[in-house]
Amino acid sequence: MNFTVNRKTSVFIQIIFWILYFMLAYNLIEINNRGNFYTLMQTSCMVFTFMGISYVNALILIPKLFTRKRYILYSFSILCIIVITPFVLLAAMKIIHSFFEPFENTIRLVNNSGQHRFVRILIPTIIFLFGSTTIRLILDFSRNERQRIQIEKERLLAETKYLRSQMNPHFFLNALNNLNAIIRLSPQKSEKYINTLADMMRYVTYDCKNNRVPIGKEINYIRNYIYAQEIKDDDISVTFNTNIEREETQIEPMLLMPFVENAFKHGVFDDGEQHPILISIDQRKGKIYFSCKNKANPGIKTNADPSYSGVGIKNVKERLEAGYRDKYDLRIDNEGAYFVVELVLGE
């Protein structure tokens, strides 16, 4: 159940509540008093007192103490309010009475003992404190639940985006065309090439359905991708180094691939020289260190080319924020002749 309302509606409800309570209290006090102005002052003093302790509790004590798990200090504060409020309110009532008594001869004082009056103030004090605590906690719970649902929706949206972009259909179309050429020109390589494509499809179809996969499988996919790129282009030179302590370490699937794909897509290979792509994945003390470096076209800037700042890397950033909040460090450098990506993932 969602107990949240918008700000205007909330203010309106609170105003209506206090007006109704004021009218009720006025009618109850008027039974024992014939002086209307005296009754009005007495009612105002009582209503504003209960209003004050309610908002102090809801807006100050709960967020500053209770939600921060300072329960002892919060309990002590509430106890002080419960004990002090009746004395303060009774003293205020006495001052009001002493001020109006010379001028209002028709006032009939409440025919109750001081102890009874103390109890009659103590009970609503406890009720208002308990009520304001309950309402604030319900609203906080509802707001936190709504935020949790929103974060989950954003996470699912980010995962949906990356699932749509993780396997470029053009890659497999090109792979099939390459396979046709390989079969004609170098039949002995065709079997390995087919097995590589099958392994990649198996990983995407089955393993990537899970939220996390062993990093060993992610590395194997990257290695297969590199092989598929190298076999179709002799100018491509890739240095891929790995040093993993535990291959069963879990990582989100296809998290690193957009950076690898960009290195091949935008690397400079057409000037007659081999310019290698440098990729490394290391694991030290539980953290994963990923680095990807390729020679870039100086004419392509991060803010101009969609592959650098668009869907691919944007999805990675969304997934990092959703799955590795405060546990990752991503640096992208596109200044100079090289495009460099460095990512550190913590457990």
pLDDT digits (tens, 9 = 90+) for 72-86: 999 999 999 999 998
Question: Sorting pLDDT into bands at 50, 70 and 90, what band is 110?
Answer: very low
Question: Sorting pLDDT into bands at 50, 70 and 90, what band is 342?
Answer: very high
Question: Sorting pLDDT into bands at 50, 70 and 90, what band is 288?
Answer: very high
For 142-155, b/e burial (b = at least 16 CB within 10 A) is eeeeeeeeeeeeeb
pLDDT tens-digit map of 241-287: 999 999 999 998 888 988 998 888 877 665 555 567 899 999 998 89
Please name the residues in contact with 116: beta carbons below 8 A apart, sequence gap of 6 or more: none
Cα–Cα separations (whole angstroms), residue 303 to 261, 331, 338: 18, 15, 16
Please name the residues in contact with 212: beta carbons below 8 A apart, sequence gap of 6 or more: 250, 251, 252, 253
What's the pTM value of the predicted model, to 2 decimals?
A: 0.54
Top mean-pLDDT range of 122-126, 252-256, 339-343: 339-343
Would the pLDDT of 164 be above 80?
no
Average pLDDT over residues 134-149: 85
pLDDT at 185 (0 to 100): 72
Give the side-chain half-sphere CA count within 13 A for 247. Answer: 7
Whether 236 contacts 273, CB under 8 Å: no
Would the pLDDT of 332 be above 80?
yes
Average pLDDT over residues 291-305: 65
18 burial class (0-12, 13-18, 19+ CB within 10 angstroms)? Answer: middle
Residue at 195: amino acid letter = N
Which domains, and CATH codes, for the chain? 7-161 (no CATH), 166-345 (3.30.565.10)
Q: Which two tokens stand for residue 130?
A: 């308990």
Question: Sorting pLDDT into bands at 50, 70 and 90, what band is 300?
Answer: low
Q: Which two tokens stand for residue 323?
A: 């799955």
Would the pLDDT of 14 be above 60?
yes
Average pLDDT over residues 21-44: 75
Whether 266 contacts 300, CB under 8 Å: yes
pLDDT at 105 (0 to 100): 42
* Separation CA 307–CA 139 (nearest Å): 43
